[in-house]
Amino acid sequence: MKYSSKNITKVFIINVWILVVLGLFALASASMILAKTQFNDPYYYLKQQFIKGVLIGIVFFIIAYLLPLNFYKKTAPFFFVASLILVILLFTPLGMELNNARRWLHIGPIVFQPNELLKLAFILYLSLWLSKKSSKEKNSFATIFAFLFYLIIIGFPMFLEPATSSLIILLAASCIVFFASGIKMRYMLITILITCLILGLAYIALKHLNPQDYRLQRIVQYLNFHKSGGQVNAQDKNYQLNQAVMAIGSGGLKGVGFGQGVIKYNNYLPEPMGDSIFAIIAQEFGFIGSIILVILYLNLFLHGIKISINASDEFCKLASLGIVSLMMIQMIIHIAAISGIFILTGQPLPLISYGSTNLVILLTSLGIVANISKYS
């Protein structure tokens, strides 16, 4: 195999670590008040993120970058099955329940979110599965129904946890990989229609079985927020979303300055260093800072697309596309949700928000993409 342009690889890797460093600065500001209150250490969450997220992420990024590409092809099926088993273990005593959701697995001293592993594992397995099929095999009802069957297998436990927003991100990225593999338009439309039908039936079933489910409540709150024009009081369930939108607007063009944002005080936001961190970034760094952040994500995504186009084989092409799509969709959903454009989901901002599992797995994933970029 011949080496491709080293420039693409270099820019991609530099872009990744610029976002990680910016994330540490944003986290330092967003978490200092909460950390001071809870642990009497304003940099508690920053230290945790650096030790458990960044340092471990660096190790896994390097390993993922150096491993031979054949390793991913050989281990993808085992990785997928193992990750699915770990997700199922959430429903055993090993699963930790927090805020009425079982998303954390506690095995000995290790606590992590197996959903993050499953997202990467399924993208790798799906890429391998599709790369082994001919064009005629891909464009058949057998392949469509097999693909939908896989989505149901991964979707059912994630829906029950519940981890609906993570499931939506994985479904969207999986469909991108599926369609990019060479599926004809009519089969694309059939797949989309059946997927929408399944999601619609799941919504109807949930509405009848558990009308008080928080996912249904968030849809209602989202609709009410826009009906009220954002005019809410402190007792309203949309109060924190309204505060987030106001914080984004109050940042103006240049922002109020690093560490000067007031939205992180007095519980104005849920998880200011995680689910709501973009609101703090927008308030402190303004429109210019927010646009620069989005440009960095776009640059990373576009270089990921270039890597996919120049990839050495079908598996590498689809895997790199799927990984950067996971990141980009998560970024869009986080910013859209905290800006009031999309339903509030609780998704972290990739490479920025607090959360070691998401950061380590994402850095590992991007290490795989950087590995693929070495070859054409």
Instruction: Average the pLDDT over 259-265 and give the result.
Output: 77
1 pLDDT above the threshold of 70: no
The β-bridge partners of 104 are: 96
Q: What is the pLDDT of residue 127?
A: 97
Q: What is the pLDDT of residue 349?
A: 94
d(CA 175, CA 171): 6
Q: What is the pLDDT of residue 232?
A: 53
Q: What is the pLDDT of residue 231?
A: 55
Q: What is the pLDDT of residue 264?
A: 72
As for how many domains the chain has, the answer is: 1
Closest alpha carbon to 230 in 246, 249, 252: 246
4 pLDDT above the threshold of 60: no
Q: What is the pLDDT of residue 365?
A: 97
User: Which of 21-35, 72-86, 118-132, 221-235 shows the lowest per-residue confidence on average (mean pLDDT)?
Assistant: 221-235
Q: How many other C-beta atoms lie within 10 A of the C-beta of residue 204? A: 10
Q: What is the pLDDT of residue 51?
A: 94
Closest alpha carbon to 365 in 124, 129, 104, 127: 124
Q: What is the pLDDT of residue 368?
A: 97
Residue 85 banded pLDDT, cuts 50, 70, 90: very high
Q: Residue 133 domain-assigned?
A: yes
Q: What is the pLDDT of residue 318?
A: 97
Residue 324 banded pLDDT, cuts 50, 70, 90: very high
Residue 236 or 45, more confident: 45
342 pLDDT above the threshold of 90: no
Q: How far is CA 242 from CA 221, 246, 250, 277, 337, in A?
A: 11, 6, 12, 15, 11
Closest alpha carbon to 340 in 224, 184, 262, 183: 224
pLDDT tens sequence across 130-167: 999 998 899 899 999 999 999 999 998 998 888 888 99
Owning domain of residue 319 = 6-373
Residue 28 banded pLDDT, cuts 50, 70, 90: very high
Q: What is the pLDDT of residue 266?
A: 60
Closest alpha carbon to 139 in 172, 176, 188: 188
Q: What is the pLDDT of residue 334?
A: 93
Q: Residue 1 domain-assigned?
A: no
Q: What is the pLDDT of residue 236?
A: 57
Q: Residue 164 domain-assigned?
A: yes
Q: What is the pLDDT of residue 376?
A: 66
pLDDT tens sequence across 190-214: 888 988 888 888 778 877 777 767 6
218 pLDDT above the threshold of 90: no
Q: What is the pLDDT of residue 2?
A: 46
Q: Residue 98 domain-assigned?
A: yes
Contact indicator for 111, 299 with CB cutoff of 8 Å:
no
Instruction: Average the pLDDT over 46-54 and give the result.
Output: 94
Q: Residue 120 domain-assigned?
A: yes
Tell me: cis bond preceding 348? Omega within 30 of 0 counts. Answer: no
270 pLDDT above the threshold of 70: no
User: Which of 94-108, 214-228, 282-296 shows the lowest per-residue confidence on average (mean pLDDT)?
Assistant: 214-228
Instruction: Average the pLDDT over 255-281 and give the result.
Output: 81
110 pLDDT above the threshold of 80: yes
Q: What is the pLDDT of residue 366?
A: 97
The β-bridge partners of 237 are: none
Q: How far, rounded to the nearest angstrom, does the alpha carbon of residue 44 sit from its chain's CA centroid? A: 24
User: What percent of the chain lies above the pLDDT cut of 90?
Assistant: 55
Mean pLDDT of the chain: 88
Instruction: Average the pLDDT over 320-342 and give the result.
Output: 93
Contact indicator for 328, 297 with CB cutoff of 8 Å:
yes
Q: What is the pLDDT of residue 34?
A: 86
12 pLDDT above the threshold of 50: yes
13 pLDDT above the threshold of 90: yes
Give whichever of 50-64, 180-194, 237-251 has the largest mean pLDDT: 50-64
